[in-house]
Homo-oligomer: A and B are copies of this chain.
Amino acid sequence: MDPLKDVADCRDLEFLRQNGARADFPLLQNEDLVFLDSGASAQKPQVVLDALTDFYRTGYANIHRGVYRLSQQATELYEGARGKIQRFLGAAESSEIVFVRGATEGLNLLAHSFVRPRVQPGDEILITQMEHHSNIVPWQMLGQETGAVLKYVPLTGTGELDLAALPELLTDRTRVLAVTHVSNALGTINPVAEIIRLAREKGVPVIVDGAQAVPHLAVDVQALDCDFYVFSGHKLYGPTGIGAVYGKAEHWRAMPPWQGGGDMILSVTMEQTTYAEPPACFEAGTPDIAGAIGLGAAIDYVQGLGLANITAYEQELLAAGTEILGAVPGLRVIGTAADKAAVFSFVLEGVHPHDVGTFLDGDNIAVRTGHHCAQPIMDYFGIPATTRASLGVYNTAADLEALAESLLRIRKFFRV
């Protein structure tokens, strides 16, 4: 009946090599569309939509305080999603997972509840020149409020972190290091395990921004030994409005809450409030219950494909795309790290990225153009913007060929 249900069950690398996982995604049944903007947000497989609607149609209720079964079942589904995230990230306990709206809210939560109590004027917060604005602005704001100083690990010409500079930047005033696992603008996969080891030696806690990593690589927070790991659901084929923060239990227990409200308290009198234990005390108010459940379904989905298969397949696409785009005259890829995700950020000589983007859209090819919320990277490369094609499990080499052909037409159109 539903063509989407006919998908082969054997989900391995061979399965992906046939036609990607495109058949699982309702929106991509529009065959004309070449969707190359997964870095901004990924499309949703049918199973995620089913999880949302099934919940609303048959199991919906508010959670936590309900004495009736519907509410208890909703609570179990919500807490079950927490457990899925725990296992997905390899965390030790599900109470180490806090639900947030997305990576941005997660980083703001950590700025407020983890870092703010630790910094004095003159202390240092270390980030990198490769961060998304969401991992820059909260620290700038905190610096303004507290007098802490923001320092940056610099870039190299290939768009990698200059790790040689790291040991010196980790001083005895460094209170935290916040670093992205994978760069959204360049695709660079940072050696976070190595970075965390260096930071650990100096006793500096590390926050990893995994927004662009979890859709593409298997992550094990205990093996990494990071203190916190944040990500957004919507980039992981899940719904909008939900994401998560992993943190070591000892940190959560020592942190003051951020937002106040219902469900994060043990008792409230007019004089004072006693807070609940983590994770509850970091989830004030009614959470995005359906979003959490949808995110759980998205995690089941990617685990069904297998993270190892996804990585392998996307690396094949990266290799293919590097060759295909390499044949476009005047195209320069920005970000050529040895270890990178399937992201092509590029400039086309003589044509502004936004003109490229508009033209590609005319050919039904969806890419992102601009600074990708990472202006310091653009400043480093001395360009205002790039055109970025970022891939997901549903993409194929044919998508990259369509991109290359359209780029050749653009050169003609703009006579370059």
Contact yes or no, A273 B49, CB < 8 A? no
Is residue A210 within 8 Å, beta carbon to beta carbon, of the partner chain?
no
Tell me which residues across on chain B come within 8 A of A140, comparing CB atoms.
260, 268, 272-273
Instruction: Please state if B104 and A285 are interface contacts (CB–CB under 8 Å).
Output: yes
> Quick check: is A126 within 8 A (CB to CB) of the other chain?
no
**Interface hit among A67-75, A214-222, A336-344:** A67-75
Please report whether the interface of chain A is mostly helix, strand, loop or mixed according to DSSP. Answer: mixed
Pair A261/B61 contact, Cβ less than 8 Å = no
Q: Is A212 among interface residues, defined by CB-CB distance under 8 A?
A: no
Q: A268 near B376 (CB under 8 angstroms)? A: yes
Tell me which of B58, B101, B150, B261 contacts A107 (CB under 8 A).
Answer: B261
By the criterion CB–CB under 8 Å, are A262 and B373 in contact? Answer: yes
Flag if B40 contacts A66 (CB, 8 Å).
yes
* A286 within 8 A of partner (CB): yes
Interface hit among A172-180, A354-362, A399-407:
A354-362
On whether the beta carbons of A259 and B379 are closer than 8 Å, the reply is: no
User: Considering the chains assembled together, what is the distance between the CA atoms of A135 and B201 in angstroms?
Assistant: 44
* A382, chain B: closest CB distance, angstroms: 13
Chain B hits for A41, CB < 8 A:
60-62, 286
A311 / chain B contacts, CB cutoff of 8 Å: none
- The interface bits of chain A over 103-127 (1 if a CB of B lies within 8 angstroms of the residue's CB, else 0) are 1110110010000000000000000
Given A104-B284, A284-B104, A286-B234, A37 and B56 contact (CB-CB distance below 8 Å): no
What copy number does this chain have within its complex?
A: 2
**Which of these binds chain B: A161-169, A312-320, A364-372?**
A364-372
Q: Are B291 and A240 in contact (CB under 8 A)?
A: yes
Measured in the bound complex, the distance between the Cα atoms of B361 and A384 in whole Å is: 61
- CB neighbours (8 Å) of A379 from chain B are 269-270
Check A71–B241 contact: CB distance below 8 A: no
Q: Are the C-beta atoms of A137 and B240 separated by less than 8 Å?
A: no
Smallest distance from the beta carbon of A366 to chain B beta carbons, Å? 4
CB pair B71–A366 under 8 Å, yes or no, is yes
- Residues of A133-190 at the interface with B, using a CB-CB cut-off of 8 Å, are 133-134, 136-138, 140-141, 150, 152
A239: chain B residues at CB < 8 Å are 56, 290
In the complex, chain A residues 6-44 whose Cβ is within 8 Å of any chain B Cβ: 26-27, 30, 33, 35, 37, 40-41, 43-44
Report the separation of the CA atoms of residues A394 and B369 in the bound assembly, to the nearest whole angstrom: 47
Closest 4 pairs (CB-CB, A-B): A104-B285, A241-B288, A137-B260, A134-B261
Between A and B, 23 residue pairs with Cβ closer than 8 Å are: A27-B56, A27-B59, A33-B70, A65-B368, A67-B354, A67-B358, A69-B361, A104-B260, A104-B261, A104-B262, A104-B284, A104-B285, A105-B259, A108-B258, A132-B261, A134-B285, A136-B273, A137-B284, A140-B273, A150-B270, A240-B286, A240-B288, A288-B288
